[in-house]
Structure 1
Amino acid sequence: MLVWPFVLAAIISLLGLASGLLMFWRYPVPSSPDSLEQQHPSLVSVIIPARNEERRIVPLLESLSQQEGIAFETIVIDDDSEDRTSEVAHAYNARVIRNKDLEDGWIGKSAACWIGAQAAEGKLLLFMDADTAFEETDSLLRYVASYEKLGGKGILSLQPYHQIKQVYENASTIFNIIVMAGMNVFTPFGERLLSAGSFGPCILCNRADYDATGGHAGIRGAVMDDLALGEEFQEQGLPVRCYGGRGIVRFRMYPEGFHQLLEGWTKNFGTASKSTHPFVMMLVNLWITGGLVTPALLLLSSLFGSSSWIMTAGVLYLLNVIEMAWLARRTGNFSWWIFPFYPILLLMFTVIFVYSLYLTHVRKTVTWRGRDVQV
């Protein structure tokens, strides 16, 4: 029996496990209320771009209506919706601005954010996706106070905690992990690696910095507006911090079904990977490779190996399952039973990622919310 294939596979598996730990070593979140100084931040303008969000926007508006200890205004930019988005927003006393005409060179969400920023009265601007929602009544206060505690400059963006309700939503497991790891700032090096941009669902900044960088007008043609806005801030010497949103803000992605989930994750995911630091990209690739090699080692050992190799492969597989659960549960409440089947999740991610590269670099068109977007 040749031993070297088993040894090589075991080494790759171990490297993958180590890479998974390193790429998602840190998980900073906004400070707890007990550690915050008592502050009374300036008026916050919560700007919500919304296109056909009648079914998704209610939890956010409901959670906003329950926020305490902070002054804020809610502005919903109805991005030419074909449903009752405006009526729903009005029912929660939000200020609604209808954006019907999309000028040449603009992407819908960027245009909506820009219009909202121009209408905002607050000194702080918080851009929130319509499918997000605050967890507690002091979540907005904690978010803003943490921003102020960090100096009140640049961007503090949060990746919401992903709450799932249907089995198919577990297909987002790997994507959520890599979205966070790919921002570069969750390794042991922390913010010594430049952030890849900002998380799109929750972006908090001050008006002065937003205006100085050109805001969304300066990145009007970017499909990945969150990454582009963060990069623009960094080019102006402003800090961009990315935190986890667990305990502060949540979202439920793609509740309409598996088809929307596929459309959402293929929407230029390949382009987003360009912003990831080469070191972090190496860790991600090693993690995926190690995760796929491990079940192959288990199969190979079962067919041709000794009992010791079967035991070794079994332990490595179990360690991958545990690590996958540890990483995933940082990003969302994914089902525990899904983790033993993690190779299927990795294969699904790989296929969708390759398809995203095809859409981005060959077709140069992606589809989102009923619109064909040139990339």
Structure 2
Amino acid sequence: MIIALAIVFIFLILRFAVTLFNFISDPKLRKVNRMHHELVSILIPARNEEDNILTLLRSIEQQDYQNYEVIILDDDSSDRTYAICETFTANLPRFRVIKGQPLKDGWLGKNFACYQLAREAKGKYLLFLDADEQVYKELINSAVHRIASKNLALLSLFTNQDMRSFGEIAVVPLMHYILLNLLPLRLIYLAKNPSFAAASGQFMLFDSAVYHRYKWHQLSKNRVVEDVEIMKMVKAEGLKGESLLANGLISCRMYTNYQDAISGFSKNFLAPFNYSIPGFLFYLLLIIGGPLLVFSTLNLQLILMMCGLILLTRIMISLASGQNAFYNSLLHPLQMLSLLFIGVFAIQNHLTNNTMWKGRRV
């Protein structure tokens, strides 16, 4: 019992230390006043996004950056995505929409769509965005300044999350929670070891020359979590990559209800654990079973210490990621239950090779 409690508290303290480091180091994309003028190709893979795509396209049109092109690839949508994009782009010379090729064997859908988009692009920088996002002024200029000043091959941003329903709030904050108390984000840039890698496919900005030399999406064509794999490959080649928090410059509404959020997270939740089910189960045991073990002792001092560490962690991560600290703290037990559900479905999908997303097996 004493050994088990010691392990639980060591795990809690280590996670608290990582969170504190992230909070103090404040790894966010900074806004800059110096204007850049290099051509940026904004590349958007879209599959059944009729409800989201116009919000993104209109927000891009309102950007303050002047030198860009936008290419949308309709990835075999069964809804009105292509027609909506075609109407929107008709009188905007910077925007165009293309039809994607049939999915080739050995490829996953999004990876193949990004590969095709890159072949169409002409920019000095390639910016891949998801269709369910919204960008704000200063984003592109600030990102271009960062990638140029740091001589990066890849800059990725973890976007602010737009959550409007109770179901979303019960699940979506887990993304930043797990990220910011397991990995010091500054080490992605500072450490040469590829193990220190994380990225978000919601915002991936590449140096075009480096991208075309390595063809990152082709190298990761069958990877479910291609964003993290690409960051690992960038670092393995001795190139520089960096991942930052978006600092309110771009937002994303990933899901609209609880069921979709659980399904969406479970499709790639094993990836950070290198698809090791024992490793993942051990993590769940510590993060969920650990607090239950502490409560079972009925030792008030231990319980208060544990709750204090968890509460401070939730507050710091919420403030860093632009989320509501009160809701995340209050709903922490429910979010941990959601994490358990995600874990069960992730393991089940992995063992049965039955992960589906947008009508395709992944």
TM-score norm. by structure 2 comes to 0.85
Letter in 2 for 1:344: L
1:64 match = 60
Deviation at 1:196, TM superposition (A): 2.3
Deviation at 1:175, TM superposition (A): 3.0
**Count of aligned pairs:** 348
Deviation at 1:9, TM superposition (A): 6.9
1:156 match = 155
Aligned residue runs from structure 1 range 33-112, under 5 A: 33-34=32-33, 38-93=34-89, 94-112=95-113
Question: How far apart in 1 are the matches of 2:216 and 2:283?
Answer: 36
Distance 1:111 1:244, change over 3 A: same
* Match 2:352 to one of 363, 371, 374: 363
Match of 1:158, SS? Answer: strand
1:123 match = 124
Letter in 2 for 1:196: A
1:306 match = none
Match of 2:131, SS? Answer: coil
Larger-Rg structure = 1
Question: How far apart in 2 are the matches of 1:355 and 1:205?
Answer: 33
Aligned residue runs from structure 1 range 143-222, under 5 A: 143-151=143-151, 153-170=152-169, 171-179=171-179, 184-186=183-185, 191-192=190-191, 193-194=193-194, 195-222=196-223
Question: How far apart in 2 are the matches of 1:63 and 1:261?
Answer: 24
Question: How far apart in 1 are the matches of 2:283 and 2:348?
Answer: 22
Moved more, 348-357 or 64-73: 348-357
Question: How far apart in 2 are the matches of 1:180 and 1:211?
Answer: 31
Deviation at 1:333, TM superposition (A): 2.2
| Structure 2 residues without counterparts, runs of 5 or longer | 90-94
Deviation at 1:272, TM superposition (A): 3.5
Match of 1:47, SS? Answer: strand
Letter in 2 for 1:359: N
1:21 match = 16
| Structure 1 residues without counterparts, runs of 5 or longer | 302-308
TM-score norm. by structure 1 comes to 0.83
Distance 1:177 1:290, change over 3 A: closer
Check the 8 A contact 1:175/1:349 in 2, yes or no: no
1:251 match = 252
Distance 1:185 1:323, change over 3 A: closer
Check the 8 A contact 2:46/2:130 in 1, yes or no: yes
1:349 match = 339
Check the 8 A contact 1:13/1:316 in 2, yes or no: no
Distance 1:187 1:205, change over 3 A: closer
Letter in 1 for 2:223: A
